[in-house]
Structure 1
Amino acid sequence: MVHKLKIGTRIGLGSTLLLLVALLVITPTVLHKIDEIVTEAERDALSRHYQTLTSQLESQGKVAETLAMLVSQIPEAQEAMAAGDRKQLERMFVSGFKILKRDYAADQFQFHTAPAWSMFRVHMPAKFGDDLSSFRHTVVQTNTEKRPVAGLEHGVAGLGIRGVVPMFKGEKHLGSVEFGMSFGQPFFDTFKKAYGVDVALRLKKSDGGFSTFGSTFGDSLFSAEQLADAFEGQAAMGRTALKGQPVAIYANAVVDYSGKPIGVVEIAMDRSYYATAMSEARNLTLLIGALALVLGAGFAW
């Protein structure tokens, strides 16, 4: 049937079909590339938020270590520690610690003897003499290796940011000094307010599941399998809706003072801007393709 058409008609029809095929191939390729660019932009933004959060945890650990190091160098504190003089330590530090707790997010302040006996709790003076060695591994490590240790660790009061340093009088090792910084729901609320993203920490349980330590958006947005992969260091990313808004989501591991993973941080970022940009780019690409087809067909005929 085609061979009966005039040569001009066949050329026009062929050109139109060729242009249509080209557009059918090029348009999805362009849209896919745009989606890749947007996805990479979202990944970079989420990764930066993750790095910011982990850096803040490390920074708080360094603050705790710095405070403990300062106290460990005070000669009067060394004398009191060597003599087991809790009353002197109380006179020196209890009133000042109240200000640190009220205004500077310090939560705990404690002296230990090796390997991990509580010699004096500045934040709780009436309680002392208990053995912490079964669960306060930062204290044991500090007194064993005689070097500072800082980071996240579980304790009696739950997960905390701690800095522990050895204490000496001359060459004699006396024990250790510890500061613990506040770490709980306010940390996540403050992070959301500062950076405009929702954030949560899911802690790994002994049965393999995860429990929520703190969150600004409730339950996890990832499957159990994705959380397990993120816990092993394989960052997960996706897209979903949160409170009716399109969000890009990211999950990656959080480690304790020793570098061992203890949970997974989830970050949810509003992607309305990216979704709008993607929609506009798609519509513009389709419009240009349609115009190209119409104009091409017009010239061909």
Structure 2
Amino acid sequence: MRRRLMPLSLKVILIIVGSQLLLYILFALLILKGSTDAITASEEDSFRLLGDTIHWSIDDELAKAELALDYMVRDPLLIDLFAGRDRSGLYAYVKDKYEPIKDRVVRFHFHLPDGTSFLRVHNPASFGDNLLELRPMVRDVLSLKQKVRGIELGRDGLGLRVLMPLWKGNTFIGAVEFGMDFGSGFVKTLKHKFGGDYYIFLFGGDQQYSLIAGTLDKPRCPTADRLISPLKQGTAQLSLDCSHARAVGLYPYRDYSGTVIGFIKAEMQRIPLSDALESIQNRLFLLGLFLVLSLLIASLYAMNSFLSPLGEVVQKTHLISEKILSGDVSYRGSIRHGAAEYQEIIRAVNRIIDALRDRENLLQAIVEGIPGIVYYVDRNFKILWANKLTLSRFPRIKEEYLQQYATGFFEHERSLIIRAMNSGDIEVFDACYMYNSEGQECWEHVAVPVFDTEGGVSHIIRISQDISDKRKAEMELRELNENLERRVEEEIQQRQEGERIAEQQSRLAAIGELATGMAHEITQPLNAIAFSVENIKNRFDQQNLNEAYLHKKIAAIVSDIERVRRVIEHVRLFARGGPTDYQAAFSVNHCVENALSLMGTQLATHGIDVQLNLETGLPDIMGNPFQYEQVIINLISNARDAVEERILAESEAHTLDVPAGIITIRTSLSDNQIILAIEDNGIGLPQGEESRIFDPFFTSKPLGKGTGLGLSISYGIIRQMGGSIRFESLEQGTRFLVEVPIIHGSSGGIL
């Protein structure tokens, strides 16, 4: 359902009313903010002023008493009577002076230097008791011999006290005291002067406090516990959250020594300055409301005068919009009105119509330029328009869509349209059809949803493209890829076979290198066997053959045969090398020893000294032990050839002192890597060729002596084991370093 549009006049009225209300709200907020701040400030100022006034009242009472008392202590007769300890004479002399002030001064007391009460003018019958322990202010004035004034908590409760020392000449003769009420009389005086209700509280232990006196039996507003701690620290508190009073002030008071011992609570029902500000605030609210209403009435009148001609303009504009919606974008309308502002509206509407017509021509050109079938469908499966290619192939598609045209090309049309309308997404599918006698066609069908102003799918744009050539190209590309994959796989297999053959050739070359050592290892035990058999035969011929001798010789022959068997078995396993994926944990030291067992005799025959430095207890590594042994044999063979080439070159140069050939083999553990180092003092690597020594078929040996595969295959074997092989050129000779990671968790040992 289309949303009903709001009339322009109503919009203008709402805008004016809303703006006026907004102005009034802003005005009210400004007034409220300013007046609230002023009221809060006035309340805080009144709160502070009231606290100062209360303390001034206390000081005023003490000052008046001090002034009167100071006058009395200057009376020579009073001093003489007190110094002479004439109680009756002193009482008779001061009672007339006390009579006018006794309503205000409730205590008139003379104290001897030892703290004994000499005369209570307010109660002359009571005297003689010692007050040093009960009255701290009495103790201080007698000990300090100075004036003491302030609030005292004594045995009779709280009171305002002024005590002055009495002197006769330079002799201290005691002290005199004035005591004023600090209870009901004091709070009543405060109420009479300043209004409100007042209460005096005395602190107890922890958060406790007790009511001493008040203008009412109990306060209207309770005192929050959170306010007690700051009060004990001497900080006054203001509270505005009581419904029974306008404001509540809590003012701490101190005793004569400066210690906070309680607080005075003031409950104010009204604050004159704040009440005046609130009255001004209310008047400003009324004034603002009056101004807003006046502006609103004036604005409505002006709006009505301005919008009155818009009825005709709106009606004719509505007619133009209906023409545009019906597809007649050539309609321009004939809106006329005398106001220049509305003529501008008319020209703007006509410009919109021209733009719509140009846009339609542009869209039509775009649609016709799409290389395929394009048509526009509504929710009732009615085609609203179609491009020329669609109409040429399906001339009656607008009249017979999904009726006559419901098979073949349109076989899945209805489901495609419904999916796009329900999902709101672009729907795509491919299909191939038999098209008359010419063969098969393949099409890509696309349904693009078009949304209305409310976000629902109102129409579908259907686009179909002929992808027959694309499908054919894809099939040809698929066949080409399959052939390419097969050729790549064959090439990989050939390369792997070549590498296997090269490795086998390298291994056979190494076996050839070992032939001399193998002959020695086999010939030596065979000679021993021959000697043993000949000894047995001689003993037999001499009839000197006994069973013990025969057993001894047979055991020696069996041992030599086992030695030959081990050599042959080791060579057989080395030549076979095991499967390509063979993996086992093995000891590097053991592989070095096996390689030397085959090459040691050959190296010794060539006069080359092998120096071993194998670290014991090395962890195992994982890989093919026969391939690793082949790497060792390759490196030792290269080292042997380099040493022999160096010795030959130095001999031909008639060098007098030719160093002997030395091959040093070391093993060690570093950073979880087993390091095999094979170092020689040979001729070294040719300069400029170092970067090529691991390349296949590269060799620096004379023609016919090297295949150029040893180091290349060794490099591949070590990389396959997760290790690395590198070399270092020495001052004389070369050092090859083979590093292979140990087995995780291996504790070392020899296989």
Q: TM-score scaled by structure 1? A: 0.80
Q: Distance in 1 between matches of 2:201 and 2:19?
A: 54
Counterpart for residue 98 of structure 2: 97
SS of 2:235 mapped into structure 1:
coil
For the 8 Å contact 1:113–1:119, the answer to whether it is kept is: yes
Matched with 1:233 is: 235
Shift of 1:37: 0.6
Letter in 2 for 1:240: C
1 CA distance for matches of 2:148 and 2:298? 71
1:267 Cα deviation from its structure 2 partner:
1.8
Asked if the contact 1:152/1:256 (under 8 Å) is kept, the reply is: yes
Please tell me whether residue 111 in structure 1 is matched to residue 110 in structure 2. yes
Residue type of the partner of 1:236? L
Could you tell me which residue of structure 2 aligns to residue 122 of structure 1?
Answer: 121
* Cα shift at 1:117: 2.8
In the alignment, the residues of structure 2 paired with residue 115 and residue 284 of structure 1 have an alpha-carbon distance, to the nearest angstrom, of 74
CA spacing shift, 1:272–1:154, aligned 2, 3 Å: closer
Q: Distance in 2 between matches of 1:271 and 1:293?
A: 37
1:210 aligns with 2:177: no
TM-score scaled to structure 2, two decimals?
A: 0.35
Q: Distance in 2 between matches of 1:261 and 1:209?
A: 14
- Whether the aligned pair in 1 keeps the contact of 2:146 and 2:165 (CA below 8 Å) is yes
Distance 1:229 1:288 in 2: 48
Query: For residue 171 of structure 1, what is the amino acid of its counterpart?
Result: N
- 2:258 maps to which residue? 259
Higher strand residue share: 1
Match in the other structure for 1:182:
181
Return the offset for 1:113. Answer: 2.3
Counterpart Cα distance in 2 of 1:171 and 1:38: 59
* 258-267 or 15-24, larger mean C-alpha shift: 15-24
Task: Tell me the amino acid that sits aligned with residue 51 of structure 2.
Answer: Y
For residues 132 and 66 of structure 2, the distance between their equivalents in structure 1, rounded to whole angstroms, comes to: 19
Unaligned runs of 5+ in 1: none
Between the two structures, name the one with larger relative contact order (CA 8 Å, sep ≥ 6): 1
- Aligned partner of 2:524 in structure 1 is none
Q: Secondary structure at the match of 1:142?
A: helix
Inter-partner Cα distance in structure 1 for 2:147 and 2:7: 89
1:60 is the counterpart of 2:94: no
Tell whether the 8 Å contact from 1:167 to 1:174 is kept in structure 2 after alignment.
yes
Give the conservation status (yes or no) of the 8 Å contact 1:227–1:264: no
**Residues in 1 aligned to 2:297 and 2:134: alpha-carbon distance in whole angstroms:** 75
AA of the residue aligned to 2:82: M
Q: How do residues 239-254 of structure 1 correspond to structure 2 at under 5 angstroms?
A: 239-242=241-244, 247-254=246-253
Q: Which residue of 1 aligns with 2:73?
A: 72
Tell me the matched-pair count. 295
Q: CA deviation at 1:58?
A: 0.9
- Equivalent-residue separation in structure 1 for 2:175 and 2:279 (angstroms): 56
Aligned partner of residue 78 in structure 1, secondary structure: helix
Greater shift, 8-17 or 108-117, is seen at: 8-17
1:137 counterpart = 2:136: yes
Cα distance change, pair 241–165 in 1 and its aligned pair in 2 (3 A): same
Cα gap change, 1:239 to 1:288, in 2 (>3 Å): farther
Q: Conserved in 2, the CA contact under 8 Å of 1:31 and 1:282?
A: no
How much does 1:131 deviate? 2.4
Instruction: Encode CA deviations 1:197-256: one digit per residue, 9 max, x unaligned.
Output: 2222222123432222222244342313224423431332325343xxx52222221222
Contact 1:165 1:178 in 2 (8 A): yes
Q: What residue in structure 2 maps to residue 42 of structure 1?
A: 43
Partners of 1:282 and 1:218 lie apart in 2 by 41
SS at match of 2:133: coil
What SS does structure 2 have at the residue aligned with 1:154? Answer: strand
Secondary structure at the aligned position of 1:73 is classed as coil
Q: Hey, what does 1:153 align to over in structure 2?
A: 152
Task: Name the CA shift for 1:144/1:281 in 2 (closer, same or farther; >3 Å).
Answer: farther
Alpha-carbon distance between aligned partners in 2 of 1:171 and 1:42, rounded to the nearest angstrom: 54
RMSD in angstroms over aligned alpha carbons?
3.4
Matches of 1:54 and 1:197, distance apart in 2: 16
Q: Name the amino acid aligned to 1:164.
A: L
Whole-Å separation in 2 of the counterparts to 1:113 and 1:292: 84
Q: Distance in 2 between matches of 1:121 and 1:298?
A: 87
Change (3 A) 1:207 1:124: farther
For structure 1, which segment, 63-72 or 273-282, has the greater mean C-alpha deviation from structure 2 after superposition? Answer: 273-282
